[in-house]
Amino acid sequence: MKPRPIEHTAETPDLTPMIDIVFLLIVFFMTVANMQVQQLVPITVPIAENASIPEERGMRTTITVKSDGTIFYGAESTVIEELPGLVAQAKAQAPQLKLYVRADANVAFKEVRKVFAAAAEGGVPNVIFATYQSAQ
Per residue in 71-103, pLDDT (tens digit) is: 999 888 899 999 999 999 988 988 888 888 888
What is the DSSP pairing of strand 127-129 with strand 98-103? parallel
Considering only CA atoms, which of 104, 112, 89, 96 is closest in space to residue 60? Answer: 96
Would you say 100 and 62 are in contact if contact means Cβ atoms under 8 Å apart? yes
At residue 81, the pLDDT reads 94
At residue 24, the pLDDT reads 92
Would you say 50 and 102 are in contact if contact means Cβ atoms under 8 Å apart? no
At residue 132, the pLDDT reads 72
Q: Classify the phi-psi angles of 74: left when phi > 0, otherwise alpha if psi is within -120 to 50, otherwise beta.
A: left
At residue 134, the pLDDT reads 63
At residue 47, the pLDDT reads 74
At residue 79, the pLDDT reads 93
With H, G, I as helix, E, B as strand and everything else as coil, classify residue 56.
coil
Domain ranges of the chain: 47-133
Distance CA 118, CA 112 (A): 10
At residue 102, the pLDDT reads 87
At residue 61, the pLDDT reads 83
pLDDT digits (tens, 9 = 90+) for 10-21: 677 788 888 999
What's the average model confidence in pLDDT over 35-44?
65
> Between 35 and 103, whose confidence is greater?
103
Q: What CATH number was assigned to the domain covering residues 47-133?
A: 3.30.420.270
